[in-house]
Amino acid sequence: MIGIIGGSGVYEITSKADRVTDKIISTDYGDVEVSFLDIFEKKVAFIPRHASGHSIPPHKINFRANIDALKNAGVTQIIATNSVGSMNPEMAPGSFVVPDDFLDFTQNRKNTFYEDKVVHIDVTQPYCPYLKNILDKSGDVILGGTYVCTQGPRFETPAEIRMFKLLGGDLVGMTGLPEVVLAREREICYNSICIVSNYASGISENELTIDEVFEIVENLQDDLLELIYNFIKNCDDNQCSCHSALEGAEV
């Protein structure tokens, strides 16, 4: 089963579904409402990351519950969408970027399922290369880039953006971590479509507003949904190393 974790621009994914069933999935970390869709004769489980009405801020998202709910539902492959600012002129607003690495600047988020035992998960390739290849075949995307995740909910300062650039960052957002690591701990293939909505603070000539982000994402909605639908068409079962990520990780 394919899992979709989406923010703005993805809520309309149900429009091409042959059937939609909403269920509450219980986990050890809380209950999660999941929409089960039949799309192109494939099973898809969809979670709106910020809940209905975009009501949960980034630093309050229950990432562990969301990932565990998809695992409990039988999901083996996850595609997430993340709205981001760009620090790289080759990743202009309006682009879709598939990242291949990250820098984590979040604080105090529950970032592991393993708090009572020692597990060192490998993140040499934090984003699934198999899903990257499927996304490459599914639409106009930029392959590769380092995603910087900040705590939020505020936007970043110009000095922070200069620091992130010096460290090799290309994109900045608030929702990608610890989601990608938790998926690896649950041995689920995971990759992200980063939707570039603006240039980051100090690069953009304008002050940043959430209205600007929503406007750009809304304008890109049709292209984003087409990319996701093509991904669903092209995706198939695979024997990826993500599914055995715990081998050699547990002490």
pLDDT, tens digit (0-9, with 9 covering 90-100), for 97-142: 999 999 999 999 999 999 999 999 999 999 999 999 999 999 999 9
Q: Say if 251 falls within a structural domain.
A: no
The Cβ of residue 221 has, within 10 Å, a number of other Cβ atoms equal to 15
Q: Say if 250 falls within a structural domain.
A: no
pLDDT at 48 over 80: yes
The Cβ of residue 149 has, within 10 Å, a number of other Cβ atoms equal to 25
**Which distant-in-sequence residues (6+ apart) come within 8 Å of 76 by Cβ?**
1, 188, 189, 237, 243
Total domains in the fold of the chain: 1
For 2, the 3-state DSSP assignment is strand
DSSP 119: B
How many helices (H) and strands (E) would you count in the chain?
Answer: 6, 11
CA 249/CA 246 separation, integer angstroms: 5
Q: What is the CATH number of the domain that holds 149?
A: 3.40.50.1580
At residue 103, the pLDDT reads 98
pLDDT at 170 over 80: yes
User: In Å, what is the CA distance from 68 to each residue of 20, 113, 180, 186?
Assistant: 21, 9, 12, 8
CA 8/CA 153 separation, integer angstroms: 16
Q: Say if 173 falls within a structural domain.
A: yes
Mean of pLDDT values over 15-22: 80
Q: Which segment of 3-12, 91-100, 121-130, 160-169 scores lowest on mean pLDDT?
A: 3-12
Q: Say if 249 falls within a structural domain.
A: no
* Whether 177 contacts 106, CB under 8 Å: yes
List the domain range (segments joined by +) for residue 162.
Answer: 2-244
**Which distant-in-sequence residues (6+ apart) come within 8 Å of 202 by Cβ?**
157, 158, 159, 161, 162
At residue 8, the pLDDT reads 61
Helix ranges, 4-157 (H): 63-72, 129-138
Q: Say if 218 falls within a structural domain.
A: yes
At residue 200, φ and ψ (nearest 5 deg) are -70, 170
DSSP 205-216: SS---HHHHHHH
Over the stretch 51-64, which tens digit does the pLDDT of each residue have?
766 679 999 999 99
pTM > 0.85: yes
At residue 237, the pLDDT reads 77
* Whether 31 contacts 244, CB under 8 Å: no
Residue 16, CA atoms < 13 Å, CB-side half-sphere: 16
pLDDT at 202 over 70: yes
* Whether 23 contacts 66, CB under 8 Å: no
Q: Say if 180 falls within a structural domain.
A: yes
Q: Say if 189 falls within a structural domain.
A: yes
Q: Say if 109 falls within a structural domain.
A: yes
Over the stretch 173-193, which tens digit does the pLDDT of each residue have?
999 999 999 999 999 999 999
